[in-house]
Structure 1
Amino acid sequence: MTSTKERQRAAARARLEKEMAQRAAAARKRRQMQAAVGAGVALLLVVAGTVWLISQLGDDDKTPSAKGAEAARTTCVWNEVPADQRTPTTKDVGLPPTTNPPTSGTQVMNLDTNFGPVAVTMDLAKSPCSAAAFTHLASKNFWDGTKCHRMFPGMLQCGDPSAKGKGYRETDGTGGPSFRYANENLPVNQRPAYPAGVVALANSGPDTNGSQFFAITEDVELSPDYTVIGKVTSGLDNLKKATAKGHDGAFDPQPGGGHPKDDIEIKKLTVTAAQ
């Protein structure tokens, strides 16, 4: 006969196995929800109490290990995109310098837009490699004359070097530099994770940051998988003015969002020296 203790142990094992199976299923579901759609990934977005499921074209997703994030703060690794994986929307301007970037102080990213200037202050103690990448790209006039190609509620996405001229193309949102770099400064313990004024990097999977970024114009709740590169310290009103007319709904109902109804052009983007 089976003893009471044996039955209890068997029941405990069964409960543990069930719990592990449920956790595995939940993890699979999360991965599926964040799987790339084209070059994108699913995002959970909450704006003014409304939940949106959004697919981000051309860049978005997860977190590195704490050890990897710490390493990225002292040594930046630039992973070149293999030649056979580049597309006509890849803009090769070489790699940032391999020397370690400054890890203290601030730099300011200045956007001269057709709706007025926007200044984004980058904290070098939190996102030194992202700042180094943007400094390099700005020095190559990477974003000059480009348009912000996509809007979601409370979010404006920019940074595709191929998004230029009148109208929009299916390829808008797929462009970037010829290198990728790791996540850093993920707001894992903040709520909302992305408050108004934050500027974060779009990506197409863990540690695949490039040139695309999104500016937050209203508090939004995204999964904390996107590097915070800085915060708008002046010009947020200009971004709100630029997005006031909303989007054309080109991606509704799924994945959601669309092209801005007003053309929002980055006439020039520069980055100051570290202070």
Structure 2
Amino acid sequence: MTKKTHQQQLAARKAKRQAEREIERRRQRRNLGITVTAIAAVVVVLVGVFVLFGVGGDDKPAASSSAPPENKPASIPTAMAPAPKRATPLASEVNCTYKKSTEPAAKKVNAPADGKIKASGTSKVSLNTSVGDLQLTLDSALAPCTVKSFLSLVGQKYFDNTKCHRLTVGEGLQVLQCGDPSGTGSGGPGYSFADEVYPTLQYGRGILAMANSGANTNGSQFFIVYGDASGLTPQYTAFGTIDEPSVKLIDKVAEAGVTPQNGPQDGTPITPVDIKTASAAA
């Protein structure tokens, strides 16, 4: 083998080795690129998992850490509703009729006398309860027959030593219901009277209204709106208001929650509200 041939062979082997090294480098660069891309994709996925499921760390999802139990209100509006007012005033006097019910009275009481009554003026009633005094203002311009019945029941001590048997804490219906001496939600005074509602009637925090079991079945049960009442339609006679300090007392009752009866957000208040006495201002 000549010297020249030997050098040519050495050069060929060197070139081959360089070409192989370049091929290997290209292969490594390609693999590295795939790996980097895969890592980036995994990071994106993991970030998505962290955001979606709240994985890792000591932090917990906001819903599980801040949401109240289902038997307590998620929130209670603080703004008092304006006092209800009829767009078209009633006549100066209206005729009231109180019909005897087929069911016996939960507590013996006389029905008010039928006849005409003035549809104007306000009356003050104080409910002395186990959670504090609740101050009511009854408005005869709104519902004169309802006010007449309520004052009659107060005067006959019908509400004394009774319990507010129902509390609702769900969105759209936040009320405390009272006025049934039997405490069952089905008791009444042994008589009924007609609704005194109007199309523009709205309910909100601080409104006092009659509970019923259908049209024109008013008796003794009433409810106090302490929060949201956007779920109510104008079929419950509003006959007055309750003042803000009194509503705040009911807020505390609501915040303690309900013992569920008609669903998780509707039942008896965990903090009892017992009406010891009801009295009208002279």
Query: Residues of 1 paired with 2:103 and 2:165: CA distance?
Result: 20
Alignment partner of 1:210: what SS? coil
**Deviations for 1:1-58, whole angstroms, at most 9, x for unmatched residues?**
xxxxxxxxxxxxxxxxxxxxxxxxxxxxxxxxxxxxxxxxxxxxxx969xxxxxxxxx
8 Å CA contact 1:72, 1:182 repeated in 2? no
Aligned pair partner of 2:258 in 244, 247, 255: 247
Runs of 4+ residues over 3 Å off in structure 1 = 69-73
Given the alignment of the two structures, is residue 177 of structure 1 paired with residue 193 of structure 2, yes or no?
Answer: no
Alignment partner of 1:207: what SS? coil
8 Å CA contact 2:259, 2:269 repeated in 1? yes
8 Å CA contact 2:92, 2:120 repeated in 1? no
Query: Residues of 2 paired with 1:128 and 1:203: CA distance?
Result: 17
8 Å CA contact 1:185, 1:229 repeated in 2? no
Distance apart, 1:197 and its partner CA? 0.4
Given the alignment of the two structures, is residue 136 of structure 1 paired with residue 136 of structure 2, yes or no?
Answer: no
Aligned equivalent of 1:97: 113
Distance apart, 1:70 and its partner CA? 5.7
Counterpart amino acid of 2:112? P
Counterpart amino acid of 2:163? K
Pick 1 or 2: higher relative contact order, CA cutoff 8 A, min separation 6: 1
Distance apart, 1:91 and its partner CA? 2.6
Counterpart amino acid of 1:257? D
Question: Aligned in 2, Cα 1:207/1:243: closer, same or farther, shift over 3 Å?
Answer: same
Aligned equivalent of 1:55: none
Counterpart amino acid of 2:220? S
Alignment partner of 2:268: what SS? coil
Query: Residues of 2 paired with 1:263 and 1:195: CA distance?
Result: 23
Question: Aligned in 2, Cα 1:185/1:122: closer, same or farther, shift over 3 Å?
Answer: farther
8 Å CA contact 2:142, 2:240 repeated in 1? no
Aligned equivalent of 2:140: 124
Counterpart amino acid of 1:217? Y
Query: Residues of 2 paired with 1:225 and 1:213: CA distance?
Result: 13
1:165-244 map, 5 Å: 172-186=184-198, 188-190=199-201, 193-221=202-230, 222-233=232-243, 234-244=245-255
Q: What is the percentage of aligned positions where both structures have the same residue? A: 34
Aligned equivalent of 1:36: none
Question: Aligned in 2, Cα 1:119/1:272: closer, same or farther, shift over 3 Å?
Answer: same
1:1-275 map, 5 Å: 74-81=94-101, 85-87=102-104, 90-153=106-169, 154-163=174-183, 172-186=184-198, 188-190=199-201, 193-221=202-230, 222-233=232-243, 234-252=245-263, 257-273=266-282
Counterpart amino acid of 1:250? Q
8 Å CA contact 2:208, 2:240 repeated in 1? yes
Counting matched residue pairs gives 192
Question: Aligned in 2, Cα 1:73/1:90: closer, same or farther, shift over 3 Å?
Answer: farther
**Deviations for 1:79-109, whole angstroms, at most 9, x for unmatched residues?**
111xxx324x633311113342332110012
Cα RMSD after superposing both structures: 2.5
8 Å CA contact 2:143, 2:239 repeated in 1? yes
**Deviations for 1:224-245, whole angstroms, at most 9, x for unmatched residues?**
1100011112511112122220
| TM-score (norm. length: structure 2) | 0.63
Structure with more helix by fraction:
2
**Deviations for 1:245-274, whole angstroms, at most 9, x for unmatched residues?**
010112215xx511110111011112235x
Query: Residues of 2 paired with 1:264 and 1:112: CA distance?
Result: 10
Counterpart amino acid of 2:103? R
Counterpart amino acid of 2:238? V
- List runs of 5+ in structure 2 lacking aligned partners: 1-73, 77-88
